[in-house]
Amino acid sequence: MTGGVCVALTILFTVYGQLVLKWQIGGKALPEGTSEKLSFLMGQFLNPWIVSGFVAAFVASLCWMAAMTKLPLSQAYPFMSLSFVLVTLLSSPLFGEPLTPSKVAGTFLLMVGLVFICR
């Protein structure tokens, strides 16, 4: 597996984890009390979707370690900004989050910055 594939898998697993956690927990209110918060959060571990999000984060870490054996950090890490771009763009159709002009501009600037860093 090439370094680029490892980085791409890191990004995909990271984005999946973020989106699935938002999907499963986003509409629920966090209780006020400390013990209630802890109970609520611990109870989420029984949700297979939540577990899949944590597994995705772990697999993303393994893919990142593999990428680090093949690529310099300064070359690979800028591509992680694509996770911000993908989460921002997918949050609008999936969760109805607003895609404001400032978010679009910021996303565009991230992409432009990535092009400059990779040169």
Evaluate if residue 56 carries a pLDDT over 90. Answer: yes
pLDDT confidence tier of residue 119, bands split at 50, 70 and 90: confident
**In angstroms, what CA-CA distances link 21 with 14, 42, 48, 79?**
11, 14, 11, 22
- Section 12-31 average pLDDT: 93
pLDDT of the residue at 101: 96
Cβ-based burial of 52 (10 A; exposed 0-12, middle 13-18, buried ≥19): middle
pLDDT of the residue at 118: 83
Evaluate if residue 90 carries a pLDDT over 90. Answer: yes
**In angstroms, what CA-CA distances link 38 with 6, 18, 34, 43?**
35, 20, 6, 8
pLDDT confidence tier of residue 26, bands split at 50, 70 and 90: confident
pLDDT confidence tier of residue 27, bands split at 50, 70 and 90: confident
